[in-house]
Amino acid sequence: MSLNRRSVLAALASTGLLPLVGGTAFADNIAAGKIKLGETEAFSKQGLIEYARQKSSKPYVESNKIPKDWIDLTYDQYRSINFRSESALWKDEEKPFETEFFAPGLYFPIPIKVSVVEGDVSQPVLFSKDVFKFQSLVPDLSDDPSLGYSGFRLRAAINDPARKDEFVVFQGASYFRAVAKGQLYGLSARGLALKTGDAAGEEFPNFKEFWIEKPKDKANSILVHAFMDSPSVTGIYSFMITPGENTEMEVQCTLFPREELDHVGIAAETSMFLFDETERSRFDDFRQAVHDTDGLLIKNGAGETLWRALANPTALQISSFVDENPRGFGLMQRPRNFEDYSDLEANYHKRPGLWVVPGEDWGKGAVTLVEIPADKEIYDNIVAYWRPRKPLQAGSEHAFSYRLVWCNEAPVAKNLARVVNSRMGKRVFEDGRLANVDFAPNANLPDNLDDIKIHVSSNVGSVSKGILQRNPSTGGVRLSFTFLPGDAKLMELRAQLMVDGKSASEVWLYRWTSV
């Protein structure tokens, strides 16, 4: 089975993250198994780095696949294989964290290796069918030495002190996703993005091996290491994960390119955007908006705060925000009320945003946004990442560190009025289109709107000066302006509010296209 972007991303919906399909009774005629560990091996972080370095000096080797009967499972059959919660790693040890595993099969034909670390030794987690429940619609499946788990999830008392809830999942290529308190899964992160949007096709590195450090009895964080491999690069990642009101990950990675990497994405994020109020007319849907995130927030090296509203284009779009030593960026979900979506099942208002904070000077490069056409909400069609200006040379070593914050709001200063919504439509009685940008209340916005200077501009066509009005619904202000593209098929729009020569709002950016 060949994996492309959409099969990989659609596969994420097949993990344990959605309700079970159907209500067929479990075929539970065997006793619950316990996770078993193999022989001990020496472990050190430096040893992992040397392991990745040595692998990079050798040709890439494709991993062996699991038996065909597991790969040929249908979606419903695969979704009907469930890990037994009583078999979870550390279930009986009263640890603050537990680990559960996902079965192989369907979209996940390549097993991963997982080991548990305690001190300076590690032990491999041995695969067993006994730790899974199989519903009756699942056929008899072979038991073969090539079998292994396809991923794992971590549980902790993130919402209720008396209950451990799932808060992070690693499964599929180098993808992982997490939630903070009260959230539902939405966008994903991944170890590395390679050649995203390139005409020659994208490369998907895989996390092939994991080492999970056994937590102390009172620990509030858990440490996970991962070995990444692909035809063009190897790497070691370490994730110090702390769940809570915001779930934070301190990430360290060391990369060893097998070949020159001239299009590499660091701290990559992948999300879904189908439509919002700017594109409502394209979709015959009962909901006002459908998206996991609706904007890319950037705090650039010059100190500007940019809000780039997302779009679902009819052709591939790539935007580069050239920068030096960015202070942070991330895909965010701004509308937080049920009425913003009116979806009782998806609950898009509970999806997390993901904020990236570089851990050192990243130098020159660009925050890159890729927007891919999508006609259904099952496809993650938005990608954002940091692209270094200089290629990573073959045979070299590159270290990056950064913090990932899964949150409702980005942890940035609140001295600027935030963009909370964007709306667009054709003008009724004159030519052109009308844009409405709503800004949240902010102490830096004076009561007298005449004291606020409006800056509206575009790269082509023309824009009106814009007017400001109080919005009683949000408590903030609404900026309205008209833009006329003329013969242009693409128009870059920019708007900002200023007071006394200083920024009083985020810089609103939008790429309008004619089709």
| Burial class for 46, CB neighbours closer than 10 Å (0-12, 13-18, 19+) | exposed
CB atoms within 10 A of CB 210: 22
Strands 175-178 and 188-194: antiparallel
Nearest to 131 by CA among 119, 114, 118: 114
Torsion-angle region of 418 (φ positive above 0: left; ψ -120 to 50: alpha; else: beta): beta
Q: What is the pTM of this model?
A: 0.92
- E-assigned strands of 59-187? 81-83, 98-102, 113-118, 121-126, 132-135, 151-160, 163-171, 175-178
Domain 419-513: give its CATH code.
Answer: 2.60.40.10
423 touches 340 (CB < 8 A):
no
Task: Identify the pLDDT of residue 2.
Answer: 39
**Distance (Å, whole) CA 168 – CA 165:** 9
Task: Identify the pLDDT of residue 32.
Answer: 64
194 touches 233 (CB < 8 A):
yes
Indicate the DSSP class of residue 459: S
**Distance (Å, whole) CA 422 – CA 277:** 7
Task: Identify the pLDDT of residue 259.
Answer: 97
Q: Supply the DSSP string of 309-351, one letter for each residue.
A: E----SS-EEEEEEEES--EEEEE----SGGGT--TTT-GGGP
Place of tokens 């920024």: 503
Task: Identify the pLDDT of residue 33.
Answer: 79
**Distance (Å, whole) CA 403 – CA 327:** 11
135 touches 80 (CB < 8 A):
yes
444 touches 334 (CB < 8 A):
no
Task: Identify the pLDDT of residue 21.
Answer: 32
3-state secondary structure of 476: coil
Q: Supply the DSSP string of 14-61, one letter for each residue.
A: GSTTSPPSS-PPEE--SPPP--EE---EE--HHHHHHHHHHHHTS---
**Distance (Å, whole) CA 446 – CA 177:** 40
Six-digit token pair at 269? 């994020």
Task: Identify the pLDDT of residue 19.
Answer: 33
Task: Identify the pLDDT of residue 312.
Answer: 95
Task: Identify the pLDDT of residue 227.
Answer: 98
Q: Which helix (H) or strand (E) holds 235?
A: strand 233-242
What are the domain boundaries of the chain?
5-407, 419-513
376 touches 320 (CB < 8 A):
no
Task: Identify the pLDDT of residue 13.
Answer: 42
Domain 5-407: give its CATH code.
Answer: 2.70.98.10
**Distance (Å, whole) CA 485 – CA 214:** 59
Task: Identify the pLDDT of residue 31.
Answer: 53
Task: Identify the pLDDT of residue 321.
Answer: 97
Tens place of pLDDT for every residue, the chain, 515 residues? 334 444 444 454 434 434 333 333 344 445 567 899 999 999 999 999 999 999 999 999 999 999 999 999 999 999 999 999 999 999 989 899 999 999 999 999 999 999 999 999 999 999 999 999 999 999 999 999 999 999 999 999 999 999 999 999 999 999 999 999 999 999 999 999 999 999 889 999 999 999 999 999 999 999 999 999 999 999 999 999 999 999 999 999 999 999 999 999 999 999 999 999 888 888 999 999 999 999 999 999 999 999 999 999 999 999 999 999 999 999 999 999 999 999 999 999 999 999 999 998 999 999 999 999 999 999 999 999 999 999 999 999 999 999 999 999 999 999 999 999 999 998 888 889 999 999 999 999 999 999 999 999 999 999 999 999 999 999 999 999 999 999 999 999 999 999 999 999 999 999 999 87
